[in-house]
Amino acid sequence: MDSIKKENQIEGVIIQRLQVISDDRGSVLHMLRNDSSLFENFGEIYFSEINPKIIKAWKLHKNLTQNITVLMGRVRLVLYDNRPSSKTAGEIAEYGIGRDNNHCLVQIPPMLWYGFQSLDNQKALIANCTDQPHNPLESESIPIDSDKIPFQWNSKK
Amino acid sequence: MDSIKKENQIEGVIIQRLQVISDDRGSVLHMLRNDSSLFENFGEIYFSEINPKIIKAWKLHKNLTQNITVLMGRVRLVLYDNRPSSKTAGEIAEYGIGRDNNHCLVQIPPMLWYGFQSLDNQKALIANCTDQPHNPLESESIPIDSDKIPFQWNSKK
């Protein structure tokens, strides 16, 4: 399962290529198994749509690890590492995630700011398999244009 | 989480209404949490597409419990109960599952024959959260038109 896996750009973020089993009747898309080296605990599986050209940002989980994959459309994921003790503290990373030729899982550890934008004028659908169930007390949000994060979404569409 | 839940038609099959949190930016769709009464163990989360008008049938899991929801399109799920000791032995049940007004989880216990058909000339996408990871030795398949199951897919499209 874990043949192609790399730690990427931001300390603790892992990208794993996932298998798509093509079939004329409709493909099967892998995401996460309990025998994967990326799996630690099951908290919740839920889905988030992003309407065309919409940005959902910025959010941070204090304790929760996310495992995300894109089922529909194409998504720009932006991460900002504000962890003082991280090797990549202060860094921004961008990832283009979509199904075509790039069906992958992105594991996002706690304490990273993250945001999503749908690309290609298409609605996107993200699956998120977390290690804890949703708890509103555990996350923080700041506005898209917050000056706490050195990134401008709109100038980089 | 479990406010609307019923056992439905076939012994051991449970239908749970799921929440859709509507948002102009794109909705959030619930599926399964580890504190749900329907959750027992996490085996795997994967996705299965069904191309327009296609039927994927018949399959049976000997040990595995499936939790399915439909993320895209509309699906006809047909179950056949061939368990000798079941209260509903010999029975067929049909379920129409889709997101619009009916976002739900269907929990399918082991030893039931099942099949899916996409409806509305649209590609369907099913999420399947199972209590064991996929193991080809654990399932059985028979042809769509097998006379072991008293159901004709094509005459009922």
Q: Is A120 helix (H, G, I), strand (E, B) or coil?
A: coil
- Compute the average pLDDT of residues A120-142: 96
The residue of B1, B30, B38, B49 whose CB has the most chain A CBs within 10 angstroms, and thus the best one to mutate to test that interface, is B49
ipTM of the complex: 0.92
Q: What is the percent of chain A where pLDDT is above 90?
A: 87
For A28-82, what is each residue's pLDDT tens digit? Answer: 999 999 999 999 999 999 999 999 989 999 999 999 999 999 999 999 999 999 9
| Residue-range domains of chain A with CATH | 5-143 (2.60.120.10)
- CA dist B40 and B34 (Å) reads 8
B44 touches chain A (CB under 8 A): yes
pLDDT averaged over chain A? Answer: 92
Contacts of B25 in chain A (CB under 8 A): 50-51, 54-56
Q: Which of the residue ranges A78-82, A106-110, A151-155, B142-146 would you say has the lowest mean pLDDT? A: A151-155
Contacts of B42 in chain A (CB under 8 A): 34, 42
Contacts of A48 in chain B (CB under 8 A): 26-29
Give the C-alpha distances (Å, rounded to integers) separating A28 from A31, A110, A112, B51, B76: 10, 29, 31, 11, 18
- CA dist B89 and B102 (Å) reads 27
Ordered per-residue pLDDT tens for chain B, 157 residues: 343 344 458 999 999 999 999 999 999 999 999 999 999 999 999 999 999 989 999 999 999 999 999 999 999 999 999 999 999 999 999 999 998 778 999 999 999 999 999 998 999 999 999 999 999 999 999 999 999 999 999 754 4
B92 touches chain A (CB under 8 A): no
CB contact under 8 A, B124 and A26: yes
Q: How many CB atoms lie within 10 A of CB B147?
A: 7
Contacts of A42 in chain B (CB under 8 A): 34, 42
pLDDT at position B156: 47
- Compute the average pLDDT of residues A5-12: 71
DSSP class of B107: E
Is residue A7 pLDDT above 60, yes or no?
no
